[in-house]
Amino acid sequence: MTTIVVVGGTGQAGRAVVREAGARGHDVRVVSRRRPEDVAELGGAAHHAVDLLADDDAAVIAALTAAFDGADAVVDTSNGMTPGAQAVFTTGARRVAEAAGRAGVGRAVVLSIAAVDQSEYPYYRAHAEQERVYAAGPAPVTVVRATQFHGFLDLFFGRGSRLGAWSRLGLLPYPRGCRFQTIDLRDVARALVDAAEGEDPLGVGPATGPSGAPTATVGGPQVLDARAMADAWRRARGSRRLPAGVPLPGPLGDFLRAGRNLVPDAAAGTTTYDQWLAGR
């Protein structure tokens, strides 16, 4: 039985990896800052409470080393959206990589983003640095880059989003001039666990990435215009809100409008956006 440790295993992507690894019969451990109130989220996995960004560097590395003891692979799905939390991609990654080396872990697997090194968007720059940190670390690493998850556009469509005022006007905002190749979290989890097992992630085949580490990129099964995705979301929700294209400013908007988020040659996902919407 293979032992897989999922760092960030209580997050959105981490939970999918925990479920996938457990379904394959692996012994699974979860590392996260807090133990979830609903232990069912752990799927029977052992939990280790470690704050990757705690002040005491040596104590964090020691706690991670203990959590990784005897593990065959570590899968890092940790995430930090705010500028302060993005240190998880640098300080946190260095600590995880060092602990994996100390514990003799045979393989580290890192979840990243397709073409993440091709944007000046701060969140993407931090993710690209995470890849470099792992590549320079003591444990063998495979980077799995994924396109945006199917839920990405809920940042625009959801009533609780920053564009909520548009909802009150009866409008459904979407990023104008952008296309997406979104992927289901379950497909991403399969790729990550494949890599943790030492297999070819979804048959895509890792190549040497910009960081120098073996890197596999996985994308969803379709390339769709954001307006088409807005229409699909409306149908699935029975919404009467009218689609309205809005400009997405800054480096992220430049990145998406240039189509650098698209990887048609790596369409490894199996669940379409419509299927994902129908299953929610």
Average pLDDT, the chain: 92
Cross-strand bridge partners of residue 191: none
- Please state whether the predicted TM-score (pTM) of the whole model is above 0.85: yes
Whole-number Å distance between alpha carbons of 121 and 123: 6
Pairing of strands 207-208, 214-218: antiparallel
Residues sharing a CB contact under 8 Å with residue 139, sequence separation 6 or more, in sequence order:
74, 97, 100, 101, 105, 106, 107, 108
Whole-number Å distance between alpha carbons of 25 and 250: 44
Number of neighbours of residue 133 by Cβ within 10 angstroms: 22
Q: What is the pLDDT of residues 92-144, one digit of tens each?
A: 999 999 999 999 999 999 999 999 999 999 999 999 999 999 999 999 999 99
Q: What is the pLDDT of residues 135-193, one digit of tens each?
A: 999 999 999 999 999 999 998 887 545 555 666 678 899 999 999 999 999 999 999 99
Q: What are the domain boundaries of the chain?
A: 3-147+184-218, 151-181+221-279
Q: What is the pLDDT of residues 207-266, one digit of tens each?
A: 788 888 899 999 999 999 999 999 999 999 998 999 999 999 999 999 999 999 999 999
Q: What is the pLDDT of residues 25-69, one digit of tens each?
A: 999 999 999 887 766 677 788 999 999 999 999 999 999 999 999
Contact 88, 77 (CB under 8 A): no
pLDDT at 133: 97
What residue ranges in 123-197 does DSSP mark as E strands?
Answer: 141-146, 171-175, 179-180
Helix (H) or strand (E) holding 4: strand 3-7
2 three-state secondary structure: coil
**CATH no. for 3-147+184-218:** 3.40.50.720
Residue from 263, 229, 12 nearest 118 by CA:
263
